[in-house]
Chains A and B, each alone.
Chain A
Amino acid sequence: MVVRNYNEELKYLEKINPYCWRIKKGFQPNMNVEGVFYVNNTLEKLMLDELRNSCRPGMTGGFLPGVKQIANVAALPGIVGRSVGLPDVHSGYGFAIGNMAAFDMSNPKSIVSPGGVGFDINCGVRLLRTNLHEKDVQPIKEQLAQSLFDHIPVGVGSKGIIPMNARDMEEALEMGMDWSLREGYVWAEDKEHCEEYGRMLNADPSKVSLRAKKRGLPQLGTLGAGNHYAEIQVVDEIYDKYAASKMGLERTGQVVVMIHSGSRGFGHQVATDALVQMEKAMKRDQIEVNDRQLACARINSVEGQDYLKAMAAAANFAWVNRSSMTFLTRQAFAKQFKMAPDDLDMHVIYDVSHNIAKIEEHVVDGKVKTLLVHRKGSTRAFPPHHPLIPVDYQLTGQPVLIGGSMGTCSYVLTGTHQGMTETFGTTCHGAGRALSRAKSRRNLDYKDVLTKLENMGISIRVASPKLVMEEAPESYKNVTDVVNTCHAAGISKKTVKLRPIAVIKG
């Protein structure tokens, strides 16, 4: 790889408008298309600092900066349009987290890459509404947080309270949310308000290793660790009254519950297994990539197809997982308020996926094309009238749920037509890490982090307090910056701002 200094690198970057930068071909070798990333002034500084640091002599071998990763993805075979970095982009395994890339299904050389999906397959956010007001919840906030904590096991190595055997697991992997529906854990309306209706139809549990299934079985219905959480939030500000009312959010102070979780150890194992297979496939098919972490296989190869089927099973696992937690949340609320979840109007507003690859139709250069769209740390944001979004959101566009970092606010956005043409209907997914986990552990004290949350009036229950500083707001970019950039760039539209009052975490 060529070594250039920072100023030379900058020649390949061009600011095309106040919220968007272009990465020209040549920034990394063999780029098939250009790259692009969305930032405002604050985020731009973070992004360029990261690049500058990596240009310092002696900095080779560490994390690749996000911009470089976006450009490396642009060099993958079969990519179309542009390799897109969303405002919350930060370095990840192979692909940056907050990167989306689409590959032409009709091109036999096109690839699928587990790095472009991520290890926590179908990590995502689900939002439940209630008809409660903040003043109903404030007096019993502590009890409610405790009750949630008791119902939903959290943390590394946690085990769920929904009894399942190996056969249930196979069925759940194949059926996704239809399994939860059949067993009565969720409502019919929940399925309606979920991306893909909560089920990837191409899932094939036989393509999943026994090891993955063993890891996954006891973990169903658990939240996990890392950045996953369940939060009780209140509506803080409504920007788009019409869209909010379509989601059943009528007034500020209304209480909602946000669940952020994924496919736990199951998805991680599926990804790990696939990476091993793909390294072999790359050698056989002579696929050249810029970074070893970008292991991939042709979509039509056995390895590619096996991965897509196993990934779909992992996606189904994640939906069943979030559905189980929806059930447990409803139980916890029902017990505290001595009312049926129905009477509390605890409907799912929407359920989005952050880490997933899906086959979609998009318009590329004026022609309709079938693409394999990788979204890693980014959210699908389809515009109004798109056939794949629920009928209730046909006029508003798809709801996009943006979970903030712990103790900061979260947002609900909607998809736009501009986003459909510019970013293949994709927008940001959250705050996005600014400090690495190790760095946050060194720089922050967990007691300070907990005290700060307490002072903000947020009840918190954590399984492992000593890891809490990894998730402190200081370790993340400012979610408001991220969301405002997406709004200003027009790739999604702000609808509602939410503020947390209680958190449970791993």
Chain B
Amino acid sequence: MFKLKLTALGHPNPESFNCEDEKEYRSVVLWLEDQKIRHYKIEDREGLRNIDADSWKEAYDLYQKDLVSPVSDGSPNEQLNWLLSYAVRLEFADNVTKYKDAKIEQPKQAAPNVVSSNPLDNLNFSSPAFVNGVERVCALTGVGPHIDPKLRLAAVAKILKTSPHPDCPRTEVSVVQQPADVLKLLFIQDLRDLQTKINEALVAVQSVTADPRTDTSLGRVGR
């Protein structure tokens, strides 16, 4: 947690920081004030500097109030998160010109990443392969011609949603059938996993509720 922000601020060991540890938490707060935020004069930082003292908590609360932190009533994690963000903001404001260039670089990196994760976003809708594919699916579903292949694809989607799937002609069977079969098998595998989890949950509940009893004195054989 907080690794990115601590790294950005140049904290000596952002990897190993554990925000659950009270002592580490306090020292990071002190480090932020000493190195980055510098809201108090050096002599006024005494309260925060007494990391081991019980009075530190009070000093911290006061510190947050002085900074007008909006999350001063929140959990320690939220409080620290805000402090870190605040420090980052100050750091940025100090060196606007330096960071402005870096900013443009980052989205450039991120953009191709998003696209490559979903191949469908990469489709070239005007490529001959796409147009041919749409042509074939349209022939199977009986969708008429239109200049825009995207519009025809939308029509196919509508048909598949509203009416039962049309039978495909013999010659196309393996083209459509094989991928469909693979999808079905993968689906069944997922379903089995889900059912197994459901059964495990039921058994877990049974260990609490189950108490099967019989009472043979109640039994009576009929005529």
Contact = CB atoms under 8 A, between A and B. Distances in A.
A448 interface: no
Interface string A144-185: 000001000111111111110000000000000000011111
B211 A366 contact: no
Nearest to A180: B212
B57 interface: no
Contacts of A456: none
B183 to A, nearest CB: 11
Given A161-B214, A184-B209, A188-B203, A463 B195 contact: no
A155 B214 CA distance: 19
Given A153-B221, A395-B188, A506-B222, A327 B212 contact: yes
Contact of A184 (B210, B218, B219): B210
A328 B163 CA distance: 48
A156 B193 CA distance: 44
A162 B214 contact: yes
A363 interface: yes
Q: Which of A158, A188, A328 has the most CB of B within 10 A?
A: A188
A189 interface: yes
A506 B223 CA distance: 7
Contacts of A390: 195
Interface in A113-163: 149, 153-163
Contact of B163 (A156, A192, A366): A366
A267 to B, nearest CB: 17
A182 B204 CA distance: 11
Report whether over half of chain A's contact residues are helix, strand or loop; otherwise say mixed. loop
Interface in B161-199: 163-164, 184, 188, 191-192, 195, 198-199
Given A184-B209, A385-B184, A391 B192 contact: yes
Interface string B86-130: 000000000000000000000000000000000000000000000
Contact of A161 (B192, B195, B206, B219): B219
Contacts of B205: 182
A218 B220 CA distance: 10
B164 A161 contact: no
Interface in A355-386: 363, 366-368, 385
B78 to A, nearest CB: 41
Nearest to B187: A394
Contacts of B211: 183-184
Contact of A394 (B188, B203, B221): B188
A289 B198 CA distance: 46
Contacts of A183: 209-212
A151 B199 CA distance: 28
Q: How large is the interface on A (under 10, 10 to 19, 20 to 34, 35 or more residues)?
A: 35 or more
B214 A394 contact: no
A385 to B, nearest CB: 6
A274 to B, nearest CB: 26
B216 A161 contact: yes
A185 B211 CA distance: 8
A453 interface: no
Q: Which of A157, A182, A464 has the most CB of B within 10 A?
A: A182
B202 interface: yes
Contact of B219 (A153, A189, A225): A153
A160 B219 contact: yes
A429 B189 CA distance: 31
A192 B199 contact: yes
A268 interface: no
B215 interface: yes
Nearest to A197: B198
B191 A163 contact: no
Contact of A463 (B191, B200, B213, B222): B222
Nearest to A328: B214
A90 interface: no
Contact of A181 (B202, B214, B216): B202
A322 interface: no
A161 B214 CA distance: 6
Interface string A379-411: 000000100001110110000000000000000
Contacts of B212: 183-185, 327
A464 B221 CA distance: 10
A391 B194 CA distance: 10
Contacts of B200: 188
A391 B188 contact: yes
Nearest to A163: B215
A367 B163 CA distance: 6
Contacts of B203: 188
A506 B222 CA distance: 7
A162 B211 CA distance: 12
Nearest to B220: A159
7 contacts: A156-B222, A158-B221, A160-B218, A161-B215, A161-B216, A222-B222, A390-B195
Interface of A: 149, 153-163, 181-185, 188-189, 191-192, 218, 222, 225, 327-328, 331, 363, 366-368, 385, 390-392, 394-395, 463-464, 506
* 4 nearest A-B residue pairs (beta carbon): A184-B210, A155-B222, A158-B222, A188-B202
Given A184-B211, A185-B212, A328-B214, 15 more contacts: A153-B219, A155-B223, A157-B220, A158-B222, A160-B218, A162-B214, A162-B218, A163-B213, A183-B209, A188-B200, A188-B203, A192-B199, A363-B164, A463-B222, A506-B222
